[in-house]
Amino acid sequence: MNSMALAQRVNEIRGRYAGWCPQDKGEHVFETVTAHCPRVSVELGVYGGQFLALIASAMQEVTDDISEYAIHGIDPWSTDALLSRGGVYSGDCEYWSTLDLESVYRQTLQAMREFSNVHLHRMDSVSGLVKFPFPTIDLLHIDGNHSEWHSTQDVLNWVPRVRQGGWIYLDDSDWPSLQTARRFLLEDADLCAEGKTWLAARKK
């Protein structure tokens, strides 16, 4: 796939599924998936499933048998969980506190039925740990609660579950509240790419 076709494909997916994945990040993950074919991918913080759709669509580019490539999305779709310990900027609290996350969950569930290898788990990231022993994950996307506490907890809990050489994406890596998580992540992984609001690293 040439660069123009890649950009068009990613832009199409971004327009079709709810979420805020920037174009450059979407193109990077699309190329990562088609090049490395991760057998187990996990996203923490799904919202409308846009990032999951990028992974699943990329897998469809390289194989007709996607059954061996599991993609898991973990999200409680809960306002209380989202706002816990200052998980969003104070100016965004009114928006998130009035958003109907139950409706978002139902819409995401319906949208992800397009992909037989995408599995949604309605739970918080700590509860999801039992589903993934050490180390089983080939691609991890950390995009859950953005408080310093929760984001650091997600890095410390989940990065050890990533295989050596596996890919780890950290969303909103420019947020002040994510700098501790970023620091711990880059102690265990090598920075490979970075955009304005995200980074990609490979597990050491």
Average pLDDT for runs of 10 along the chain of length 204: 95 97 98 98 97 98 93 93 58 70 96 97 96 95 92 97 98 95 98 98 98
* Angstrom distance (rounded) from CA 71 to CA 39: 8
Fold (CATH) for 3-203: Rossmann fold (3.40.50)
pLDDT the model gives residue 80: 78
* Residue 138 near residue 169 (C-beta atoms within 8 A): no
**Other C-beta atoms within 10 Å of 160: how many?**
12
pLDDT the model gives residue 90: 47
* Residue 75 near residue 100 (C-beta atoms within 8 A): no
* Residue 145 near residue 50 (C-beta atoms within 8 A): no
By C-alpha distance, which of 178, 183, 181, 186 is closest to 202?
Answer: 186
pLDDT the model gives residue 48: 97
Domains of the chain, residue spans: 3-203
Handedness of CA 20, 98, 174, 84 (dihedral sign): negative
